[in-house]
Amino acid sequence: MELGERLIEVADLYRQWRHCHFVTVERVMGSKPGTGGTSGVEWLRKVTEHRFFEELWDVRSSL
């Protein structure tokens, strides 16, 4: 149980960092293409929605 809680905490902190990064990039670059041939902000928006340890989040709902 403790390990699961720590993993959820790490996932949440990383999600918070990704959101801040997304907002900063959106502010600085606008809708310009991103590095590496990505669509820039739109690609980051999609990636920001990704959830690490999806199974742990699901288990929380069933407890």
Convert the pLDDT of each residue in 9-56 to its tens digit.
Answer: 999 999 999 999 999 999 998 888 888 888 888 888 888 888 888 888
Q: What's the total number of domains in the chain?
A: 1
Q: Are 34 and 40 in contact (CB under 8 A)?
A: yes
Q: What is the pTM of this model?
A: 0.73
The secondary element (H helix, E strand) that includes residue 36 is: none
